[in-house]
Structure 1
Amino acid sequence: MDARTVIAALRRGEPPSEEGLRWFAAGLADGSVTSAQAGAFAMGVCLRGLSEEARAVLTLAMRDSGHVLRWDLPGPVLDKHSTGGVGDCVSLVLAPMLAACGVYVPMISGRGLGHTGGTLDKLEAIPGYVTDPGEERLRVVMREAGCAIVSASEGIAPADRRLYAIRDVTATVESLDLITASILSKKLAAGLEGLVLDVKVGSGAFMKTMEEARALARSLVGTANAAGCHTSALISGMDEPLADALGNALEVRSSMEVLTGGAGGPLLELSVALGAELLAGAGIGGGEGKLRESVASGAAAERFGRMVAGLGGPSDFVERWSDMLPEAPVVIDVPAPEAGHVAAMDGEALGLAVVHLGGGREVESDPVDPAVGLSHVLRLGQAVEAGQPLARVHAAGAGAAEAAAQAVRAAIRIGEAPELGPLVRERIA
């Protein structure tokens, strides 16, 4: 077997063999496949596509190109993956809620991508939190806290790490087959028994239409189930930020307000919906009630505190979080230009405003300022008076604050109240 055989088959539109795909994934990981061959493979998949069977084979081959975690825990090992949105801090809320329900959650997460925030960047706003603890510490935290939100180690799906970098420079990022294999190879390497996918749709999501979201959801669900991991997906609306804040420390604040029982709204409701979907798939009944009780009783917050302490953060974070998170030196309100209702939002523009404040990365090497972002963002349909704040900008300097305020004014349209759809639009199983 060699790379040219696999690439030639793709060029002719022939389905690659299982042996060929496994060989190619191993070659990506160990370097025996060149960058030119990897680029040709990515373009071949992008242009010709893969069958459902071949997509599952590629996903498992990329998973098996590195270390696959195995668990011996007294409960199901489950996880959630989001396709990316703005103000989306569900992971910080859902993982400890599930842990409080007897589930174990080894959540391998990522950093900010484009206009969307990264879960690891959010957690690193907590003083001392270590996102790459090593497997030994990960296993300790999993047993003691029931959840651990960490980065993928160098040994997790190395074929994906190599192929992703090549896709980024060969205009093949949009391939549904390669997106599916990339997401799932890392998730399945975490040794999961069940997975729920939160596929976002709307102005703040990568998928802008229901057709795009359905196609991605079906690809992910079909492939994960074919790979032996019980999986379903919820398509959820992202026409406005999920929380009322965008930015790393600000989204941790929003999460803690939910976990400590001081806030509800879409962030809590979507966390409950996704968690109930996971618990039902694992044969655990009454999931919604159990998840809500985990918040009301303080058990979910306590699990979050255990995770933070186990991964290097303060042992009293849950009790003192409001004093521990960084704050920006410049805070200004963005007044509404006229009275009316919040008629529409450009979620992507809001996310990019946070990136330009320094809360995300324009290039991979950019540092991230954990304190900057937007808070108190009004919700769609909300009535507003002229001069009332549409949002609050948190910035490192006055110039950056004013530029962000202009972006917010341009991204939020005042007019007639819109017809609002449900938060969860569709279930794919």
Structure 2
Amino acid sequence: MPARALPQELIRAKRDGEVLSPEAIGELVGGIVDGSLSDAQVGALAMAIYLNGMSASETVALTEAVRDSGEVLAWRGLGPGLDLPGPVLDKHSTGGVGDLVSLVLGPWVAACGGCVPMVSGRGLGHTGGTLDKLEAIPGYGIAPSRERFRKLVCEAGVAIVGQTAELAPADRRLYAIRDVTATVESLPLIVSSILGKKLACGLDALVMDVKTGSGAFMPTLERSRELAETIAEVASRAGTPTTALLTDMSQPLAPCAGNAVEVREAIALLTCQKTDERTGGRLLEVTRELAVELLLAGKLAHDRKAALALLDERLATGAAAERFARMVAGLGGPADLLERPERYLPRAAVLRPVFARRSGCVTRMDTRALGLAVVALGGGRRAPNEAIDPAVGLTGIAALGEAVDGERPLAWVHAASEVDAELAASQLRAAIEVNDVAAADVPRPTLIQDVIRREVP
């Protein structure tokens, strides 16, 4: 067996722009996991990748090495009562404001015959985190045992949980070091981080929601499209057929942002209180389109028309809501959450409307600033271990092209104090631009800007 190369020599090669072999990348990732690479070496490797990039083959090799750095879940051949009855499907979003798609999509796809073992994360910067939203539900446990996780996916069809220590351990250390070495914004590192965790869940198909616009992680449409195309290509080459939707985040996806308020919105959608374009709006449209792609990829529908019909039927009959209720109860939450959400979901001490300084139509908004306003209220973290207030947030956020005046506010602020509410009001007025124009003259970006599909070669 040939001797392993010294880590510093592999880092030197990447620093000098050379292409690393899959074996070399595997050695480096192994060193990240077992600690034989020091923090300084991991940081140097991350910077070398940040500065020089990676070829498509290198990015695939890095993604596979991160995926295989811990347990890769298997869902079949496990014995009676443990094999999943349908295709293993999942979704991931690059994050945004008012993006509660996962809370609706997971149960909805499960109600159509899919099995959704969704490993999610917490909020990052201005973006909300699925786990933070779910923890607004009293008793909801994001870290079940491996056996409980498997059983719940089998019985309810869906379980949304946090990353375990066994899944993609290389990513946890690599991401922590990237975060403090200014190497987060590297496409190969972003892709391998996202996909390493997702593909370790043993998926039959994946759908990605890649955002673009003022609330997106990537700053431009070109960078967002590059990310979407790279994720779809790398995931498929790593063995998982993947579809990436490029969707607009120039305004919040739902008319609310916060943790408990977004859970209420998800319940309203699942229980058909918001099902048409007027009330469900952008959130419903994006969720439905992502779900269609998963049903087609999982062969749960033979064409788009059949997928839409199945989805609409499962939503209207309450089957999707029932899957959500089973998931919540199965992870320790209240069994009657859907019937009595107000009994369980916390409410902020202060609720006040924020009116614009002039009447007119909303013509532009800084969606990232709206997300940061929620963070300032206490709905997100400014430091890694900071506690979150699940009750705070924004509701009734006016949409682009909507008229606002002395009766229709820009939004409602849910705050812990009057001081916090006043600060949020100032942030909202600065983030949302209002002008004296007709609604028809306000441009509204296309919600779903592209669909990129990749099959396994």
The equivalent of 2:17 in structure 1 is 13
The equivalent of 1:288 in structure 2 is 308
CA RMSD of aligned residues (A): 1.0
Distance in 2 of aligned mates of 1:267 and 1:292 = 15
Aligned pairs for 1:301-312 (under 5 A) are 301-312=321-332
Amino acid at match of 1:168: D
Distance in 1 of aligned mates of 2:291 and 2:92 = 12
SS of equivalent residue, structure 2 residue 91 = strand
Distance in 2 of aligned mates of 1:244 and 1:332 = 16
The equivalent of 1:265 in structure 2 is 281
Shift of 1:315: 1.1
- 1:338–1:387 contact (8 Å) kept in structure 2: no
The equivalent of 2:46 in structure 1 is 42
Distance in 2 of aligned mates of 1:208 and 1:173 = 14
Which of 446, 450, 457 in structure 2 is aligned with 1:422? Answer: 446
- 1:337–1:387 contact (8 Å) kept in structure 2: no
Amino acid at match of 2:73: L
- Once the two structures are superposed, residues 167-217 of structure 1 have per-residue CA deviations (whole angstroms, 9 ceiling, x without a partner) of 111111111000000000000011111000000001111123210111101
Which of 197, 206, 212 in structure 2 is aligned with 1:195? Answer: 206
- Once the two structures are superposed, residues 57-84 of structure 1 have per-residue CA deviations (whole angstroms, 9 ceiling, x without a partner) of 1101011111111102111000000001
Amino acid at match of 2:218: M
1:115 matches 2:126: yes
Percent identity for Structure 1 against Structure 2:
55
Shift of 1:279: 1.3
SS of equivalent residue, structure 1 residue 137 = helix
Amino acid at match of 1:50: M
The equivalent of 2:349 in structure 1 is 329
Distance in 2 of aligned mates of 1:208 and 1:343 = 20
The equivalent of 2:109 in structure 1 is 98
The equivalent of 2:79 in structure 1 is none
Amino acid at match of 1:341: C
Distance in 1 of aligned mates of 2:307 and 2:343 = 33
Segments of 5+ residues of structure 1 without an aligned counterpart are none
Distance in 1 of aligned mates of 2:261 and 2:104 = 14
SS of equivalent residue, structure 1 residue 261 = coil
Amino acid at match of 1:184: L
Which of 51, 55, 65 in structure 1 is aligned with 2:55? Answer: 51
Distance in 1 of aligned mates of 2:215 and 2:254 = 12
- Once the two structures are superposed, residues 342-373 of structure 1 have per-residue CA deviations (whole angstroms, 9 ceiling, x without a partner) of 11111001000000000000111110000000
1:277 matches 2:293: yes
The equivalent of 2:277 in structure 1 is none
Shift of 1:292: 1.8
Shift of 1:386: 3.5
Distance in 1 of aligned mates of 2:135 and 2:408 = 33
Distance in 2 of aligned mates of 1:292 and 1:363 = 41
- Once the two structures are superposed, residues 22-46 of structure 1 have per-residue CA deviations (whole angstroms, 9 ceiling, x without a partner) of 1111111111111111011101111
Shift of 1:129: 0.2
Amino acid at match of 1:27: G
* Residues matched between the structures, number: 429
The equivalent of 1:232 in structure 2 is 243
Segments of 5+ residues of structure 2 without an aligned counterpart are 77-83, 275-279
Distance in 2 of aligned mates of 1:131 and 1:287 = 30
